[in-house]
Amino acid sequence: MKAQQLFDVQGDVTFITGGARGMGQAFAEVMAANGARIALYDIDGPALEEAAAALRATGAEVITTQGDVADSAALRAAVDATVAHWGKLDSVFANAGMSAGRGYALSEAGRLEAVDLATWERVLQVNLTSVMVTMQAATPHMKAQKSGRMIVNSSVGGLRVEPQVGYGYSATKSAIAHIVRHAALELAPWNILVNCVAPGAFRTNLGSGRLNDPAIAKIFEDMSPLKRIASLEEFKGLMLLLASPASSFMTGTVIPIDGGAMVI
């Protein structure tokens, strides 16, 4: 089989949270470049429309919804509206997330006794509950068509201890990895594949773009044997794999994409 067939997502419909920038935008770009139709959900209205305009300029079909993933009712409605618009839902990328602030290795505010519980609750809602809601909202549509792919964004910070990141971030990203395994087992009879990516250091706006600080960037560069921070272009290949027929026998996986950080 040729690569073009293996990675064929032509005409697919995908729903992406946090789709206006970063990894969500990167996934939207690679899917659109290969003929998929894109539904973007993001809290940042101007960034959302800018991302959509860039995709439409390439000929892609795109719909957008501005909303907070912490608003569960709005998030469910956006998934339903995507199916109402295009008649199906082939893949979702539960990507939206937020930083919990600097961890205890970088800030006194990151120490256990200093963790702000209001921030903790917000991080749980954005990073964890929204993933569950996205998956819940997609499930009946994918069950009805007896197919679908759910991709969830975790982090290597959820697979190992990284004292550079906050407690809320590491806790939610760890929980996500286990939810994916649980859902993969339940949904397998409907041919719904559920997988998780666990990125290492990529240049995104998470944490207010803290990797733009050379001192912080050096810490994260040294966490990888490759000694560098990845570009978002390097995220696209794995994501296209998980959304395409090439991954037809993959489910319940948690895949690091981290420059080898997990082996140190």
Q: How far apart are CA 123 and CA 99, in angstroms?
A: 7
CATH fold for domain 3-208+229-258 = Rossmann fold (3.40.50)
* 169: annotated active-site residue: yes
73-86 b/e with 16+ CB inside 10 Å = b?
Answer: eebeebbeebbeeb
Angle between helices 130-145 and 72-86 (to 10 degrees): 30
* Paired tokens of 96: 């939206």
Would you state the pLDDT for residue 208?
45
The residue extents of the domains of the chain are 3-208+229-258
Residue-wise pLDDT for 101-135, tens only, equals 888 888 998 899 989 999 999 999 999 999 999 99
Q: Which of 41, 104, 167, 169 is catalytic?
A: 169
Tens digits of residue pLDDT in 128-184: 999 999 999 999 999 999 999 999 999 998 899 888 889 999 999 999 999 999 999
